Structure 1
Amino acid sequence: MVVDYECRDGVARIHLNRPERLNAVVPALTEGLLKALDQAVEARAIVLAGRGRAFCSGHDLKEPTPDETSLETRRRLEQIQDVTRRIRAFPGIVIAAVHGYALGAGCEFALACDLIVADEQAQFGFPEVEVGLSVTGGISALLPKIVGPAKAKELLVLGERISAGQAAATGLINRVVPAGEHEKVALELAARIAARPPVATSLAKQALDRGLDSTLEEALATEVDHAILTSVSGEYRHG
């Protein structure tokens, strides 16, 4: 299995499991990740991590170039984009627990998540332009909103790797933790989230995601709709 899945106490754990290739992306890994995300229907939070020495080193450039038509290439790339779609559509919170490398598609997987916890030795980057490729995971929309247009262009065009500390300073990730503590801290956060009211948590995620592309009036309307939903959900804790 190139992707491992388990779920306990409302927290799903998904591990990319190609450690011999630093969890580099091949179609089987993409398919396994999508299947694992689909399995997490009962989970309230997900922790996405990688086995071995890295989170995910990006596309496996040592794999032979696929002999495929343009339509087949489109379908393969859209399947990779489905990872972003699944994570963003998941009603709970998805936390990336990053160590080693999060490069290219690996960085895209991480940034699709709601929160990112990174080992202090982790490195992030987008080497696609340098090797003559293009980003595919919705990064052209997500990255400028996270770090601003100028920094996003710098990260994509120059392709320089940045440290966990630099990533935190630019707002790319949430927390930097001591080496080897990334999964432990991510699981602790996931357990806290799983214990919170699920409707309110899901609506908070939806409101913020929608708010990125909303006018102020649209955001205000969404907030009223969500306030009504939470008022009848039975989750409100008086006192």
Structure 2
Amino acid sequence: MKGASVVEYEVVGGVARIHLNRPRRLNAVVPELVEGLNAALDRALEEEVGAAVLAGRGRAFCSGADLKRREPPVSEAELRRRMQRVQDVTRRVRRVPFPVISAVHGYALGAGCEFALACDLVVAARDAVFGFPEVSVGRGVTGGISHLLPLAVGPARAKELVLLGERFGAERAAELGLVNRVVESGKHEAAALELARRLSGLPRGAVARAKYALDRGAQSGIETAFEVEVDYAVAARLSEESERAAEEFRNRKKEED
């Protein structure tokens, strides 16, 4: 897999484990890391995993763009292509049918914060530090954050986070609605894997439809949301997977009674 040296990939029990692997540079973003991450998500789709966990090796999840690495000058077209490849990470997370969970510790800054928040669920260690420092270093946000962040925290708070670029911890991220679970430092991957295993064990078609419906509903009007919900609910009820899940539920209830 292209970029394998800086992005590690394995599947255990139907769950893909994807690790950013530039620990000496706090997993700072370079083109080969972006390519490796896109390739890992493609591979997880091909292998039909039930869920995926994205984490970082070493002391941080991802510290953002590697500003210390001197890149040779590139054309505007190549620069645009590279920015679009960063956005492709978010596109892939949104398009794959399985949930992607980020397990965040240490720094999650700039593009690293975007990678984390693009995921369907976010588990953060108490030592996690989030932030969008792009404006302060003369850069711009990517990864769909200009759309996703206002949806999550509201436009006024989104402007505050991006324009001021202040760092904030895991508890604050949870208060803002950006993080699902805050766990003790060092427990973030275990907690994310537990969620991934639970999700992987659920009816996969139902999980995929729920994920797509929620994403589309958040980005459209209520009438479109109504239509999508009905389409997906009908498809779920007519599926063999739904019948099996219903029968298992009935059997459990009999045992409990």
The residue that corresponds to 2:22 in the other structure is 18
Which residue number in structure 2 is paired with residue 226 of structure 1? 232
- SS of the equivalent of 1:235 reads helix
**Among 2, 7, 11, which residue is 1:3 paired with?**
7
Counterpart in the other structure of 2:189: 183
Q: Return the match for 2:177 from 139, 154, 171.
A: 171
State how far apart, in whole Å, the 1-side matches of 2:29 and 2:234 are: 42
Q: Does 2:91 correspond to 1:82?
A: no
- When Rg is computed on C-alpha atoms for both structures, the one with the higher figure is 2
Moved segments of 4+, more than 6 Å: none
2:162 corresponding residue in structure 1: 156
Within 2, Cα distance between the matches of 1:52 and 1:103? 15
Code of the residue aligned with 1:19 in structure 2: it is: P
Matched residue, 1:69? 75
Residue 253 of structure 2 corresponds to: none
Match of 1:51 in 2: 57
Could you tell me how far apart the structure 2 residues matched to 1:65 and 1:150 are?
35
1:106 to partner: Cα distance:
0.2
- RMSD over aligned Cα atoms: 0.8
Shift of 1:65: 4.0
Counterpart AA for 1:12: A
AA in 1 matched with 2:145 = I
1:66 to partner: Cα distance: 3.5
2:218 to 187, 190, 212: 212
* Residue 36 (structure 1) aligned with residue 40 (structure 2): yes
- Separation (CA, whole Å) in 2 of partners of 1:185 and 1:213: 29
Corresponding position of 2:108: 102
Q: Which residue of 1 aligns with 2:204?
A: 198
Letter in 1 for 2:10: E
Partners of 1:160 and 1:89 lie apart in 2 by 31
What is the Cα deviation at residue 213 of structure 1?
1.8
Percent identity (aligned): 62
**CA drift at 1:186:** 0.2
Deviations 1:105-158, CA, capped at 9 Å, x for gaps: 000001110000000010000000011100011100000000111110000000
Counterpart CA distance in 2 for 1:160 and 1:11 is: 34
Which AA in structure 1 matches 2:88?
D
For residue 49 of structure 1, give the secondary structure of its aligned residue in structure 2: strand
Per-residue deviation, residues 58-77 of structure 1 (Å, max 9, x unmatched): 00000114411111110111
The normalised TM-score by structure 1 is 0.98
- Structure 2 unaligned spans of 5+: 251-257
Can you give the 5+ residue segments of structure 1 that lack an aligned partner in the other structure? none
| Residue 123 of structure 2 is aligned to residue 124 of structure 1 | no
